[in-house]
Structure 1
Amino acid sequence: MGQADITLRHIARRRAGDLARVFVPEHRPVEVLGWIDTQVTKLERRLDKALRLRVGGELRVLHVEFCFTLRDDVPDQVFEYLGFLFTALRTEAPGEPVPPIESVAVVLSGRKRRLPTVGERRTSWPERRFSGTHFRIDAVYQRTVAELRARGSVFWLVFAPLARDATAAAMREVVAEIRARAATDEERIELTTALLVMAAIDPWEHNLRKELAMLFDDREMEKKLLRRIPMIGEMISEAERQAAQRAAERAEKRGEKRGEKRGEKRGEKRGEKRGEKRGEQRGAQKAIAELLGRLFARRVGRRPTAEEERSIVERALAIGPGEVEDALLDLDADALVRWLAEPIRR
């Protein structure tokens, strides 16, 4: 999910209790003990998707997946992660029973027809009794603004632009509520950032992003917001990691095929290294183009041309994304277009 996934994981880490309470049985007291972080989950690279809880005095674990849509491979991903998670918890406390685990897929967009509330991944033979895993489906985009507000936390208000009945008037109320209830300026900026990111998904074609942007017309606020959408350093790192991982996997497969023919592993290792390096470079350039291209569109009123996008990426790589970001924020539209057409001063 890229931008949305990073943004949601960021605010979920800070508001774990608000995330968990919605999925805990009603009227049961819940205490958040922290995100699960073990050596096994480090290998899986998704440390912030499982919460350790105490519900009514009992240890439990909540596993949450934020999904752009409920793709066919989501059940596979849930089942796969549960295997890593179960192994991590068992390794962490040998001889102790593994706490019960509940999995939830929070879905941000998709079909108009109601999604089921429960999904499954069957591993048993079709004619045998079911074996595998069930998981809950929380299609937040199919809820109303009132339903999200009833969850009682500003965390869930950031999903309001996804609601099927979202309107410009409702968004003004949501923004006012976030401003009133946010504990600090930093929290307000983070929640507002998430609100704008969710508006960009727009599953019902409400076109509320421009309306929301107008609510944050203050110059200094705009700078702070744009600098945090979507937390440029983290997103570039994530893009690099994912691209490198995919490239390494492809290189490994190519290396294995060559190894089968030649009976050697040297080609595989060289392929992995070259693939990782190319993947990192392409991932960084794609992330820079996506992020800074949005700032260009906001300042100039249109998407950058291919040449302008190439200039943005080249300047970011030559002088740093921060310098380019400053130019995109500080220059007016005409000056910005001229600056991108000038030779790069390294």
Structure 2
Amino acid sequence: MGNADITLRHIARRRPADLARVFAPEHRAVEVLGWIDTQVTKLERRLDKALRLRVGGELRVLHVEFCFALRDDVPDQIFEYLGFLFTALRNEAPGEPVPPIESVAVVLSGPRQRLPATGKRRTAWPERRFSGTHFRIDAVYQRTVAELRARGSVFWLVFAPLARDATAAAMREVVAEIHARAAAGEERNELYTALLVMAAIDPWGHHLRKELIMLFDDRETEKKLLRSMPIIGEMILEAERQAAQRAEKRGEKRGEKRGERRGEKRGEQKGAQKAIAELLGRLFARRVGRRPTTEEEQSIVERALAMGPGEVEDALLDLDAEALVRWLAEPIRR
């Protein structure tokens, strides 16, 4: 699901305990031992979707999938990943029992009617008893802001724009809470970026993205805002990797693969380009005193993609207004 998945995995790395605590059994001590990283899971490139835990002294594994919607293929994806994960854990400790694995699908959008609490992927014959896997469904977009706040972590506050009762007033409170509770400026701005990405999904039609941007502009300096750029850089790299991987899997001829890879990159990067334009466009406005033109906005995006977000960051921080405008009009150095 593109940017949302990348952004959520990025911030989940910082707060794995907050992710695990919500899905662990109540009144049981939970210790996070780390993200599962083995040779087999590296084939799937989803290293940070499975957490190794100790719950009440017992080893367990929590597997989390962030899903844009509960599509028909989500059970297949969860079942497939469980196979990779089980193989990885068994190869990691031959002869040892594989810890119990709990899978959770965190759903960001979908129908208004309540989703079931549990999903399943059946693999047995219809005439036989059930065989396959069950997984939990956490439809965060169907929760209220109060329910998300009750989870006790700023990690879950980033889902507030998805809540069915989200309002501009609630977003002001959420931003203030993140500002007060986030440990450092870099983490705070990564959480702000996640809020923007979640607001873009907008399953209830709240249209809170512009409200959030104004709140960030009032609260943060240019230099602090630019610290959210690592997420954008990761979006770009992930888009390129996914495009190349899919083209390689199809096993097409070299010339066809090059054409498809370019097309797939454009599709995957569209969301990343929008994020770059919004994050850097408002900083340009403060430096120059006006919004960028269509050509200038496109130049900002193209430079970030071609040269990396760091060089665009330096230009926005170091160049005066006239020099910045001239720089955007120059040919891009690739």
Distance 1:36 1:174 in 2: 31
Return the match for 2:310 from 318, 322, 337.
Answer: 322
Distance 2:302 2:159 in 1: 35
Preserved CA contact (<8 Å) 1:244 1:276: no
Change (3 A) 1:137 1:88: same
Task: Report the CA distance between 1:345 and its aligned residue.
Answer: 6.4
| Higher CA-based Rg | 1
1:157 aligns to what? 157
| 3-state SS of paired residue (2:216) | coil
Unaligned runs of 5+ in 2: none
Unaligned runs of 5+ in 1: 256-269
Distance 2:219 2:272 in 1: 23
Task: Report the CA distance between 1:145 and its aligned residue.
Answer: 0.7
1:96 aligns to what? 96
Preserved CA contact (<8 Å) 1:296 1:303: no
Distance 1:321 1:38 in 2: 30
Distance 2:256 2:248 in 1: 5
Deviation per residue, 1:56-108 (Å, 9 max, x gap): 11111100001111111110110000000000011011111111100000011
Distance 1:232 1:213 in 2: 16
Q: How does 1:68-217 map to 2 (within 5 A)?
A: 68-217=68-217
Between the two proteins, the alignment pairs up a number of residues equal to 328
Moved more, 188-197 or 290-299: 290-299
| 3-state SS of paired residue (1:215) | helix
| 3-state SS of paired residue (2:245) | helix
Change (3 A) 1:329 1:119: farther
| 3-state SS of paired residue (1:183) | coil
Preserved CA contact (<8 Å) 1:103 1:136: yes
2:28 aligns to what? 28
Distance 2:168 2:305 in 1: 39
Change (3 A) 1:84 1:275: farther
Moved more, 307-316 or 160-169: 307-316
Change (3 A) 1:322 1:280: farther
Question: 1:293 is matched by which residue type in structure 2?
Answer: A
Question: 1:147 is matched by which residue type in structure 2?
Answer: E
Preserved CA contact (<8 Å) 1:145 1:163: yes
Distance 1:127 1:36 in 2: 37
Distance 1:227 1:304 in 2: 24
Change (3 A) 1:223 1:70: farther
Moved more, 56-65 or 167-176: 167-176
Distance 1:160 1:198 in 2: 8
Q: How does 1:232-271 map to 2 (within 5 A)?
A: 232-250=232-250, 252=251, 254-255=252-253, 270=254
Change (3 A) 1:70 1:333: farther
Deviation per residue, 1:286-332 (Å, 9 max, x gap): 57644433346545698975x66664455446655434455567889
1:344 aligns to what? 331
Change (3 A) 1:332 1:280: farther
1:294 aligns to 2:295 (yes or no): no
Distance 1:275 1:244 in 2: 11
Normalization by structure 2: what TM-score? 0.86
Normalization by structure 1: what TM-score? 0.83
1:49 aligns to 2:49 (yes or no): yes
Preserved CA contact (<8 Å) 2:185 2:224: no
Preserved CA contact (<8 Å) 1:244 1:278: no
Task: Report the CA distance between 1:249 and its aligned residue.
Answer: 2.3
Question: 2:241 is matched by which residue type in structure 1?
Answer: R
Task: Report the CA distance between 1:178 and its aligned residue.
Answer: 1.6
| 3-state SS of paired residue (1:175) | helix
Change (3 A) 1:60 1:106: same
Preserved CA contact (<8 Å) 1:236 1:283: no
Distance 1:328 1:73 in 2: 43
Question: 1:202 is matched by which residue type in structure 2?
Answer: D
Q: Percent identity?
A: 82
Task: Report the CA distance between 1:232 and its aligned residue.
Answer: 2.5
Question: 1:153 is matched by which residue type in structure 2?
Answer: S
Distance 1:219 1:22 in 2: 30
Distance 1:289 1:329 in 2: 20
2:225 aligns to what? 225
Distance 1:113 1:331 in 2: 52
Distance 1:327 1:22 in 2: 42
Preserved CA contact (<8 Å) 1:292 1:325: no
Task: Report the CA distance between 1:175 and its aligned residue.
Answer: 1.6
Query: What is the CA RMSD across the aligned residues, in angstroms?
Result: 3.1
| 3-state SS of paired residue (2:137) | strand
Preserved CA contact (<8 Å) 1:189 1:225: yes
1:262 aligns to what? none
Question: 2:144 is matched by which residue type in structure 1?
Answer: T
2:17 aligns to what? 17
